[in-house]
Amino acid sequence: MDQQCTTLSSFIIEENRRLGDKATGEFTGLLNDISIACKGIAALVNKGALAGVLGVAGSENAMGDAQKKMDLIANDLFIDALQNNGHCAGMASEELDEILTLPEGKIRGSYLVTFDPLDGSSNMDVNIDVGAIFSILKAPADKKDPTAADFARPGTEQIAAGYCLYGPSSMFVLTTGNGVNGFTLDTSIGEFILTHPDMLIPETTSEFAINASNQRHWEPAVQQYFADCLAGEDGPLGKDYNMRWVAAMVGEIHRILCRGGVFLYPIDARNREAGGKLRLLYEGNPMAMIVEQAGGVASTGYKSIMDVVPNGDPHQRVAVIMGSKQEVEIILSYH
Ligand code: AFP
């Protein structure tokens, strides 16, 4: 093993020290809990059919999505990691109807965690990328059980955010508000190792990701931008574009962090009242924090995602346009 390698745990300890944190160890412990959940999920995702984790569970989540077996397993792994170590006071998950407080007798920690334990889970059965997304907020100071209102805080109040991509290799990508760093899971030693320090999104791009099957429902601004992308160098944007669609936001955002691009899940006629399709607290906000910490822009089309005021519903939806700074600004100029 490379003697110089930095593990996720040593990176977080060092980062806290550098930031002059009083170092109670609680925040480090919380990130460690999350990374342990992600390692457990990575092991099962990697085994796939051999672990018997493919297929549907036969239930639905609060949004009416059919839950996969692995959605529920990943959710349980997050809950187990977060409720037993005294770092977390409550959680909100895509797979739980309501926010979750801790059982009697468990120590209430100083943080709240929201998560999508298995983003893009319909990719599981076809062996394509899936991921986990998380956001960390400060818990109420009084150590009482949090309520849904305690989670209803704008993205600007996030303490940290990250995702774990389960792809050809598993990668844990983290921001604590001081840039973005990526760690690759070395399965031979069971550690996430810093492999992508100071990730920065290129400002310009000619690659976009959008589910074009929804085209007829989009607003005119997005319709026009899309038409101009397709027109390529003969159109007003004056360049040929490439298109990608992983159908797991973690995969799209990771690609954008590595080589630039824009990802759009815009308002459409069917979800205008709800505010969009993706979820604010465990998809929009954490990804917006990561993208902006990496030099990109994250908007609803009309305002910064992290300025959206939550309405108290843990599953509130939001429109998402994020990625390379200059290209997002071009898209916003269409609105
Ligand atoms: P799940 O987390 O429910 O699997 O959904 C994934 C997702 O929220 C996001 O990661 C994708 O970009 C988007 O939905 C894909 O949805 P469509 O295939 O319906 O466009």
23 C-alpha to center of ligand 1: Å?
A: 37
Nearest Cα neighbor of 110 from 149, 141, 133 is: 141
* Whole-Å CA distances, 237 to 131, 210, 233, 263: 33, 18, 7, 17
Integer Cα distance of 3 and 6 in angstroms: 9
pLDDT per residue rounded down to tens, the chain (335 residues) = 555 799 999 999 887 777 665 667 889 999 999 999 999 999 999 999 999 999 999 888 888 888 999 999 999 999 999 999 999 999 999 999 999 999 999 999 999 999 999 999 999 999 999 999 999 999 998 878 999 999 999 999 999 999 999 999 999 999 999 999 999 999 999 999 999 999 999 999 999 999 999 999 999 999 999 999 999 999 999 999 999 999 999 999 999 999 999 999 999 999 999 999 999 999 999 999 999 999 999 999 999 999 999 999 999 999 999 999 999 999 999 99
Nearest Cα neighbor of 262 from 330, 198, 170 is: 330
DSSP state of 187: T
For ligand 1, mutation pick of 78, 278, 317 (most atoms within 8 Å of CB): 278
Protein residue with least CA distance to atom 5, ligand 1: 120
Q: For domain 207-334, which architecture applies?
A: 3-Layer(aba) Sandwich (3.40)
* Same-fold call for 8-196 versus 207-334: no
Domain boundaries in the chain? 8-196, 207-334
Nearest Cα neighbor of 145 from 116, 172, 107 is: 107
- Find out whether 171 and 328 touch, Cβ atoms under 8 Å: no
Nearest Cα neighbor of 201 from 324, 297, 292, 284 is: 324
Integer Cα distance of 39 and 270 in angstroms: 37
Any ligand 1 atom below 6 A from CB of 125: no
DSSP state of 169: S
Residue 21 has a pLDDT of 57
Residue 23 has a pLDDT of 63
Phi, psi of 65 (to 5 degrees): -80, 140
Nearest Cα neighbor of 109 from 82, 86, 90 is: 86
Categorise residue 116: left if φ over 0, alpha if ψ from -120 to 50, beta otherwise: beta
Any ligand 1 atom below 6 A from CB of 122: yes
Burial class (CB in 10 A: 0-12, 13-18, 19+), 242: exposed
Q: Is 122 annotated as a binding residue?
A: yes
Closest ligand 1 atom to 214 CA? 20
Any ligand 1 atom below 6 A from CB of 247: yes
Any ligand 1 atom below 6 A from CB of 113: no
Any ligand 1 atom below 6 A from CB of 119: yes
Protein residue with least CA distance to atom 16, ligand 1: 247
151 C-alpha to center of ligand 1: Å?
A: 22
For ligand 1, mutation pick of 67, 78, 164, 211 (most atoms within 8 Å of CB): 211
Strands 170-175 and 160-166, by their bridges, are: antiparallel
250 C-alpha to center of ligand 1: Å?
A: 10
Specify the pTM: 0.96
Q: Is 275 annotated as a binding residue?
A: no
Any ligand 1 atom below 6 A from CB of 278: yes
Amino acid at 245: W
Closest ligand 1 atom to 68 CA? 4
Residue 22 has a pLDDT of 62
Closest ligand 1 atom to 116 CA? 2
Integer Cα distance of 263 and 256 in angstroms: 8
Beta strands in the chain (DSSP E): 56-60, 66-68, 88-93, 100-101, 111-119, 130-138, 160-166, 170-175, 180-186, 191-196, 207-210, 242-243, 262-265, 278-279, 297-299, 317-318, 320-323
271 C-alpha to center of ligand 1: Å?
A: 14
Q: Is 116 annotated as a binding residue?
A: yes
What is the signed CA dihedral for 82, 87, 90, 93, rounded to 10 degrees? -40
Q: What is the pLDDT of residues 146-174, one digit of tens each?
A: 999 999 999 999 999 999 999 999 999 99
Residue 263 has a pLDDT of 98
Residue 131 has a pLDDT of 98
Residue 195 has a pLDDT of 98
Assign domain 8-196 one CATH number from 3.30.9.10, 3.30.540.10, 2.40.110.10, 3.30.870.10: 3.30.540.10
Protein residue with least CA distance to atom 15, ligand 1: 247
Integer Cα distance of 94 and 184 in angstroms: 25
Calculate the CA 213 to chain-centre distance.
23
